[in-house]
Structures are given as structure tokens and as C-alpha cells.
């Protein structure tokens, strides 16, 4: 399974180096993708994980103060990149997301495109329709071959950091819709996954892995999660 670790805006430099040390002791056959804060990409030493970024510029390069381009990420050994995470999405237009996907693919970086509905209380049909529309909107400029390169992270926004998770049945049905549009793509689930609820979540049989936020910061709990999965 693919296990993507989104550290978000956490750790000082010393804390990160210690964390990385702990992480390197994890012994797992699952594929780990570590997405640290961008400031630590250059000091990361991927031994048992692949390096991912939490974001990329929608510009190719040039006079764009503070931006980090796909080409620059590539030069640091980054091979994956989160795109459109809900914690950034309110600042980003569909057009910018599309540009980011394109630049990443052009630089051989696999985008992990985050998609998920805002509200839990909508009908399953409506949630499925919303996810479908979003994927179609964001990938319509890509060729079929480019589309196949994307990993989708299904992350219901109401579940991120809240401790509330959808039922296995709900996740299965949402992932089914995603795989109808993108049959060759890997799909992860993200939102409040932890070392306890993994025993239930691992029974879902149409997902290819998980995207972890809070749990990614705690190597001991992460080790327990990896043992159970």
C-alpha cells in the first residue's frame, strides 16, 4: 500500500532531523511518501521513503517571489507532490490546480490530487456527483496518458483533523466513482486515519493506500499503524 505522510506546517529543523531519524528505523514493506515542510526538502535523506512536496508553484519559473517550481522540486529529489489539499484550496483556483498538475507531470513528479466533499450531511449521490465533477474539471486539460500519472487522495473535508471518518461503505462507493472516471489510477483515503481505526479501514478493498496528517507526526504510533495494516 501507499502511505503518504503529510507533515503540514510542523517541526523545527532539529525536531525534523530527530523525526527523520525515527522514521528511518521503520521497517515496512509499504511504500512511504514523506511530505515535510518545504524548508526541509533539501535536508531530507530518503532512505526508506520517497520524497514528496506539500505544494508546488503554478508558475514554471521566473519572477515569482516566494514560489517553488516543479523543476526546483525535481532537483531536490522530489518524486511526489500534493496538489489542491483542502487547507490550501480556498487560495487556489481550478486553473491554478490544472497548471500545477501539468508542471509536475512535465517534470516527472507524480501529483497526489486531493479531492473531497465539504459536507457530511449531503446524500451519497450528491457527494459522488461533486467528486466526479471536480475530477473532470481539474483534469480536462490533460491527455489520457497524463491523467493516468495522477494519484487521487479522496479526503472528505469534514473528516480532516476531526476524528470523524466515513463508513467503509461510504469510502468504497466514493472510490468506486473515482475509479470509474480514472480506472488505471491509484486512490488513497485521507482524513483522521489513526493506529486504531486502521483495523476497520483496512477492510476496504478498492483503495490503494492512505494519506496521513496528524498520525504522520508520531513515529511510534505510525509504527503501530504500519504493523496493523
**Is 155 a residue of the active site?**
yes
How many other C-beta atoms are found inside a 10 Å radius of the C-beta of residue 86? 18
Residues 25 to 84 in contact with ligand PGA, rule: CB under 6 A: none
Residue 196 binding ligand PGA, by CB under 6 A? no
Instruction: Report the DSSP beta bridge partners of residue 154.
Output: 115, 189
Only segment of 34-42, 93-101, 103-111, 186-194 that touches ligand PGA (CB under 6 A) = 186-194
- 155 is an interface residue for ligand PGA by CB under 6 A: yes
The active-site residue, picked from 146, 155, 173, 224, is 155
Given the rule CB under 6 A, which of 23-31, 41-49, 100-108, 153-161 is the region that contacts ligand PGA? 153-161
What lies within 8 Å, CB to CB, of 68 at 6+ separation is 38, 53, 55, 56, 57
Interface residue with ligand PGA among 177, 211, 222, 226 (CB under 6 A) is: 211
Q: Which of 2, 3, 6, 139 binds ligand PGA (CB under 6 A)?
A: 6
Q: Which residues pair with 81 in a beta bridge?
A: 53, 111
Number of Cβ within 10 Å of residue 101's Cβ equals 26
The CA distance from 171 to 168, in Å, is 5
Does the footprint of ligand PGA cover residue 160 (CB under 6 A)?
yes
C-beta of 168: minimal distance to ligand PGA in Å? 17
Spatial neighbors of 69 by CB under 8 A, at least 6 apart, are 56, 57, 59, 60, 61, 103
What are phi and psi for residue 116, nearest 5 degrees? -175, 155
Stretch that binds ligand PGA, among 63-71, 93-101, 121-129, 191-199 (CB under 6 A): 191-199
CB of 17 to ligand PGA, least distance (A): 22
For ligand PGA, the closer CB: 83 or 193: 193
Give the whole-angstrom CA distance, residue 224 versus residue 194.
9
Q: For the chain, how many residues are written?
A: 229
Quick check: is 85 catalytic?
yes
Active site residues: 85, 155
Question: What is the contact surface with ligand PGA in residues (CB under 6 A)?
Answer: 6, 155, 160-161, 190-193, 211-215
Amino acid at each position: 500500500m501507499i502511505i503518504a505522510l503529510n507533515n503540514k506546517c510542523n517541526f523545527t529543523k532539529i525536531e525534523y532531523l530527530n523525526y527523520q531519524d525515527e522514521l528511518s528505523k521503520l521497517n515496512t514493506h509499504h511504500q512511504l511518501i514523506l511530505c515535510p515542510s518545504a524548508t526541509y526538502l533539501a535536508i531530507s535523506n530518503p532512505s526508506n521513503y520517497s520524497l514528496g512536496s506539500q505544494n508546488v508553484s503554478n508558475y514554471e519559473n521566473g519572477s515569482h517571489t516566494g514560489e517553488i517550481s516543479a523543476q526546483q522540486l525535481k532537483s531536490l529529489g522530489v518524486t511526489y507532490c500534493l496538489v489542491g489539499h483542502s487547507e490550501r484550496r480556498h487560495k487556489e483556483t481550478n486553473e491554478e490546480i490544472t497548471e500545477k498538475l501539468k508542471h509536475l507531470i512535465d517534470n516527472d513528479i507524480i501529483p497526489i490530487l486531493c479531492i473531497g466533499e465539504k459536507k457530511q450531511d449531503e446524500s451519497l449521490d450528491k457527494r459522488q456527483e461533486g467528486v466526479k465533477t471536480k475530477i473532470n474539471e481539474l483534469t480536462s486539460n490533460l491527455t489520457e496518458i497524463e491523467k493516468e500519472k495522477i494519484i487521487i487522495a479522496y479526503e472528505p473535508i469534514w473528516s480532516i483533523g476531526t476524528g470523524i471518518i466515513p463508513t467503509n461503505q461510504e469510502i468504497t462507493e466514493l472510490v468506486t466513482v473515482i475509479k470509474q472516471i480514472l480506472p488505471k489510477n491509484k486512490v488513497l483515503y485521507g482524513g483522521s486515519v489513526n493506529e486504531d481505526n486502521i483495523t476497520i479501514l483496512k477492510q476496504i478493498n478498492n483503495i490503494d493506500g492512505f494519506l496521513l496528517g496528524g498520525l504522520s507526526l508520531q513515529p511510534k504510533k505510525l509504527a503501530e499503524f504500519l504493523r496493523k495494516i
